[in-house]
Amino acid sequence: MNTTWRVITTKSDAEPWWFFEGWEKDIMRDWTFDSREEAVETFLTELKRFSERYPKAKTKKFHSIAFWDPEEVYFCEACDDDLQVYYGLVIFENDQPMEIKDGLIITEITDRMEQ
């Protein structure tokens, strides 16, 4: 079996590591790669783009990152409350969140999130 990688961006009221039923409808962009290096480069490029646009960020095991602006909320009539809007970035390997163990990639992710 050939290994494939995907990078996706999402927009949702949940952080991107919560794969709730129907989460796929929140996908805004979706890239597929045959090369790990190309997938990681796209992930880091999108990380930079989101980091420049949104003041807050949080990661889950480095493969999933949520970005948000505390001022960007929407009113949920069903729950009668304001919900935060999150922009997500996730990298997958063979349709599973990719394990990122490479210290250089982790450092780059951390550095870009702190900018």
How far apart are the C-alpha atoms of 94 and 37, rounded to whole Å? Answer: 15
To the nearest 10°, report the CA torsion of 92, 49, 107, 32: 20
Pair 7, 37: CB distance under 8 Å = no
* pLDDT tens digits for range 88-108: 999 999 999 999 988 888 888
For the whole model, what pTM was predicted?
0.91
Count the Cβ atoms, other than its own, within 10 Å of residue 71.
8
Q: Which residues contact 26 (CB under 8 A, 6 or more apart)?
A: 10, 11, 12, 14, 88
> 39-76: per-residue pLDDT in tens?
999 999 999 999 999 999 999 899 999 999 999 999 99
